[in-house]
Amino acid sequence: MMLYSMTMMYCVSCPLITPFGLLYFVTKHYVDRHNLIYAYRPSKINEKVHATAIGFVVLSAVVLQVIIADRASVPRIGQVLR
């Protein structure tokens, strides 16, 4: 979840991060899929884990909006000098 949060927060300020984040998540999807099918046994997971993960996703979206608002509100250097 941390990598998703970092990709979402910084994809606006540095668009080069986005394709590498996508490549990471596609690779991770296929690796995790293989591991779930062939390597791992079924386990019992607490339901609070999923709620916490969704909370982090929402938090990263809020932080992204704050960063975008901050960058949009700062005047450009050329506009300040006029």
Q: What is the pLDDT of residues 12-37, one digit of tens each?
A: 888 888 899 899 999 999 999 999 88
Asked if residue 54 has pLDDT above 90, the reply is yes
- Reference 8, options 56, 45, 47; nearest CA is 56
Confidence of residue 79 (pLDDT cuts 50, 70, 90): low
Task: Evaluate whether 67 touches 14 at the Cβ level (below 8 Å).
Answer: no
Average pLDDT across the chain, whole number: 85
Copy the structure tokens of residue 55. 């909370």
Copy the structure tokens of residue 44. 């019992």
Asked if residue 4 has pLDDT above 60, the reply is yes
- Taking the C-alpha atoms of residue 19 and residue 27, their distance in angstroms, rounded to an integer, is 12
